[in-house]
Amino acid sequence: MDWKAKWLKPANDFGNAAPVFSTDFALSRTVKQARLFITALGVYEAALNGRRIGQFVLAPGWTTYYKRLQYQEYDVTDLLRAENHLTVTVGKGWYHSPMPGFSASDFQKGLAARPMGLLAQLEITYEDGQHSFIVSDESWSVSESAVRFSEIYDGEIYDASFIPPCSVAAETFNGPYETLIEQQGEEIREQERIAAVRIFTTPKGEVVADFGQEITGYVEISVNAKAGEEIRLSHAEVLDKDGCFYTENYRSARAEYCCICRDGQQSCQPRLTFFGFRYIRIDAFPGGPGAGKPENFTAVVLHSQMKRTGRLSCSNPLLNRLFDNIIWGQKGNFVDVPTDCPQRDERLGWTGDAQVFVRTACLNYDTEKFFTKWLADLAADQGEDGYVGHVIPDLLKKQPASAAWGDAAAICPWAVYLAYGNSEILSRQFESMRKWVDYITAHTTTEYLWTGGVHYGDWLGLDAPSGSYKGSSREDFIASAFYAHSASLVIKAGLVLGKDMAAYEALLHNIVSAFRRAYPTYTTQTECVLAAHFHLAEDCQAAADQLALMIKECGTKLQTGFVGTPYLLHVLSDYGHTDLAYSLLLREQYPSWLYPVTKGATTVWEHWDGIMENGDFWSRNMNSFNHYAYGAVADWVYCCAAGITPAEGYPGYSKVRIAPAPDARLDWLEASLDTRHGRIISRWKKQDSLWRYEITTPVDAEVVIDGKTFLVSAGSYIYHSSIQLA
């Protein structure tokens, strides 16, 4: 891109008000095409002749800004007139907001100290073949906008009746050009609109609107008001056990929206921020909080522009609600980066959560472009020695690397490759994958194991000692297991790319040998899971059998945390305990995937008992009700219960294996998956005391029914089981 434009900043300090940059220009010839190239240090909303440009909300998105800043290209031909007025409002966004709210960040302070910058270049091509340019420079004006305050955690104040003082000339400054990149990720867009289902008064006298579903986005308000009347909303995920509005789990994030109205019928909504919520408290409204009606409020759902590819349904209503919750959790947390949660003073791209969920993410939606961009940021933020931070973009620099978090560098690219069959992701990320393994090799205190580090362990494991967030699984055990796993993925990626991987194959052999010597026995469910799933145990069947026994001995309950849970049901199924995997999936009592559903969850929770049996909360300071990681269980439903996987050696489902595993506690189950090669459907149901299997495959497939393998070509097939139902 040949930038002729200059970086602009406000001439004066506007305080909390968002600046609006503007320019006027006239056209006297017929325009063939007009393209606007634009970015900002912050988030922007651009308009030409009063009409919004594009559908990208919170553009230019969130990247590791010191090294990568996206710019966007918009075709604005249809918005042009003879006389034109171009405006761009710039808010703090991720660039200037004080993130992360729960921890000091020198990285973020450095960004916040930079100007609220804008770079814009309009390239016009005329019918006669001539070109002209409208570029941001000293001729542009800047003034305070009607957005009086806006940032990520605290929300926004908008004054529709605000009349700005006279504009002044904008100032140019030496902004970043060398870090500019074309738009790489998916655009964040408004995706759905949800009407308020009810407005009620709590025991404390609060007026609250309920949208019936937790979302990420904001509320659009339609109202007839007088100039100066205020609308003030607060946001919350849940109500407390008394039915009152609850925000303590947002911690320091105020999550408020205020609109100061103009005269007449109008609609307003946040423009440069977002919230995670199901409920709003109406703190002020024309005529009083109680004057608001459901039709005044519409929740607008935001997430990255991703195509839905996977669907699950079955005969169990609670399980169907879980499937929906997993989808809503992904939508709510895939807002340009895979965040842990969208509501409190965090909303960061935690690497551990991303690697836990990546396989499910790639089944539910086409996330190839989404992860390609985020993984490019991971590689950009990665240390020269291979260090990978806990979050990407890495706002928490200098913290010790953690196993299962930094391993996202290896796990995520491989999962994306398997899902879509495009080796380009491996080409882009191979050096990052390799450097991560080399980092472990260089920083361990025990050769061929990973010891001596500081890790999150089996985060939120239910077998955690009193007062600890970490489960009882040994941290060095977990770290060494992931060391082996990441090394194996580097080898696989290298072989796909035609590289000589002999050195890493020898390394992996030594890691596995050292692991077996150091850890001949397993003390927790998660240790059994990792030993079997990563093929580290001398006898993986024995490790899986031990796992099954542990589960049964504690009352058929899981005790795993972030590290063990994603693989738990897979290990049970892979080693002959599918019935036990179903028992865990279908369990309704705490702890289980369905327990939150019985408590009214509409997304996946951070804690199995975020709301406890007696209605109390797990905690005030770390209790998100939209935390997608445990939704990784959907991967098992697609791949084991419905049995849809790529055939060995055929990434991207160019050939498939379909091996359904029904359970008599369900009458039927169906999974569909749109792949690069077409739609795969696997359905099973009870029929006349037998199982009926209905399978559609767009490619050649290995179909496994009752242990028998059928090789079939593309088409639809029906099989009946020879096994009588008990």
DSSP 291: G
Query: Rounded mean pLDDT of 704-708?
Result: 94
Mean pLDDT of 234-243: 98
CB 414 within 8 A of CB 491: no
Under a CB-based contact definition with an 8 Å cutoff, are residues 89 and 144 in contact? no
How many C-beta atoms lie closer than 10 Å to residue 442's C-beta? 10
Q: Is the pLDDT of residue 616 over 90?
A: yes
Same domain, 546 and 563: yes
Residue 442 lies in a domain: yes
**Is 693 exposed, middle or buried, given 0-12, 13-18 or 19+ CB atoms closer than 10 A?**
buried
Q: H-helix or E-strand containing 634?
A: helix 633-636
Final residue before a domain boundary, out of 641, 673, 705: 641
Task: Share the mean pLDDT of the chain.
Answer: 97
Average pLDDT over residues 209-229: 98
* Class of residue 31 by CB neighbours under 10 A (exposed 0-12, middle 13-18, buried 19+): middle
CB-side exposure of 713: number of CA atoms within 13 Å?
A: 0
- Tally the residues of the chain: 726
| Residue 322, in any domain of the structure | yes
Note whether 421 and 507 are same-domain residues.
yes
646 falls within a domain: no
Sign of the torsion formed by the C-alpha atoms of 594, 600, 602 and 605: negative
Cβ–Cβ < 8 Å for 140, 49: no
Report yes or no on 55 lying in a domain.
yes
Residues 143 and 239 in one domain: no
Is residue 533 predicted with pLDDT exceeding 80?
yes
The answer to whether residues 355 and 283 belong to one domain is no
* 314 DSSP assignment: E
Q: Are the beta carbons of 220 and 276 closer than 8 angstroms?
A: no
Task: Report the alpha-carbon distance of residue 254 to residue 174 in Å, rounded.
Answer: 34
**Is 221 inside any structural domain?**
yes
| Shared-domain flag, residues 480 and 596 | yes
Alpha-carbon distance of 342 to 81, in angstroms, equals: 40
Q: Where among 641, 672, 691 does a domain terminate?
A: 641
- 13/378: higher pLDDT: 378
Beta bridge partners of 653: none
pLDDT digits (tens, 9 = 90+) for 60-88: 999 999 999 999 999 999 999 999 999 99
Residue 725 lies in a domain: no
Cα 329 to its chain centre, rounded Å, is 8
pLDDT (average), residues 290-307: 97
Q: How far apart are CA 647 and CA 679, in angstroms?
A: 15
- Please name the residue ranges forming H helices in 421-501: 424-443, 475-496
In 3D space, the residue among 47, 143, 45 whose CA is nearest the CA of residue 92 turns out to be 45
What percentage of the chain carries pLDDT values higher than 90?
Answer: 96
CATH number at residue 219: 2.60.120.260
Q: Cis before residue 60, ω within 30 degrees of 0? A: yes
Query: What distance, in Å, lies between the first and last C-alpha atoms of the chain?
Result: 67
User: Amino acid letter at 205?
Assistant: G
Edge to edge, the sheet with strand 644-646 lists 644-646, 656-658, 701-705, 708-712
Token pair recorded at residue 308: 């839905």
CATH number, position 676: 2.60.420.10
C-alpha distances (whole Å) from 493 to each of 133, 407, 496 are: 45, 14, 5
List phi, psi (to 5°) of 110.
Answer: -65, -40
Kindly state whether residues 375 and 437 are assigned to the same domain. yes
Cα torsion 395, 398, 403, 408: sign: positive
Kindly report, residue by residue over 480-514, the tens digit of the pLDDT. Answer: 999 999 999 999 999 999 999 999 999 999 999 99
Residue 418: C-alpha distances to residues 105, 309, 319, 346, 676 (Å): 36, 15, 27, 31, 12
Residue found under tokens 């369900």: 666
Residue 723 reports pLDDT greater than 80: no
272 and 375, same structural domain? no
343 in a structural domain: yes
Whole-number pLDDT of residue 103: 85
Number of domains making up the chain: 4
C-beta of residue 230 within 8 angstroms of C-beta of residue 193 = no
Determine, yes or no, domain membership for 508: yes
> Tokens representing 547?
């796992």
Question: For residue 22, what are its two tokens?
Answer: 């503007």
Residues 466 and 615 in one domain: yes
Residue 520's CATH number: 1.50.10.10
Task: Say how far apart CA 325 and CA 212 lie, in whole Å.
Answer: 12
Q: What is the pLDDT of residue 726?
A: 55
Q: Are residues 633 and 664 in the same domain?
A: no
| pTM of structure | 0.98
Reply yes or no on whether the pLDDT at 559 is more than 70.
yes
pLDDT tens readout for residues 351-385: 999 999 999 999 999 999 999 999 999 999 999 99
Q: What is the DSSP string of 90-111?
A: EE-HHHHS---TTS--HHHHHH
What are the Cα distances from residue 633, in Å, to 40, 404, 564, 567? Answer: 39, 17, 11, 8
The Cα–Cα gap between 553 and 196 comes to 46
Distance CA 76, CA 69 (A): 22
Can you give the residue range of the structural domain that contains 229? 189-304
Distances, alpha carbon 224 to alpha carbons 210, 297, 683, in Å: 21, 13, 51
Contact criterion met (CB below 8 Å) for 362 and 415: yes
Same domain, 181 and 194: no
Q: Which residues contact 301 (CB under 8 A, 6 or more apart)?
A: 190, 191, 192, 193, 194, 215, 216, 217, 331
Residues that are catalytic: 346, 606
User: Over the stretch 274-285, which tens digit does the pLDDT of each residue have?
Assistant: 999 999 999 999
* 592-612 mean pLDDT: 97
- Whether residues 655 and 555 fall in one domain: no
Identify the pLDDT of residue 725.
67
Q: What is the DSSP letter of 4?
A: -
Q: Are residues 632 and 596 in the same domain?
A: yes
Confidence of residue 689 (pLDDT cuts 50, 70, 90): confident
Handedness of CA 379, 381, 384, 390 (dihedral sign): negative
Measured CA distances, 151 to 25, 52, 690 (Å):
31, 21, 58
The DSSP output letter for 638 is I
**At which of 160, 185, 210 does a domain end?**
185
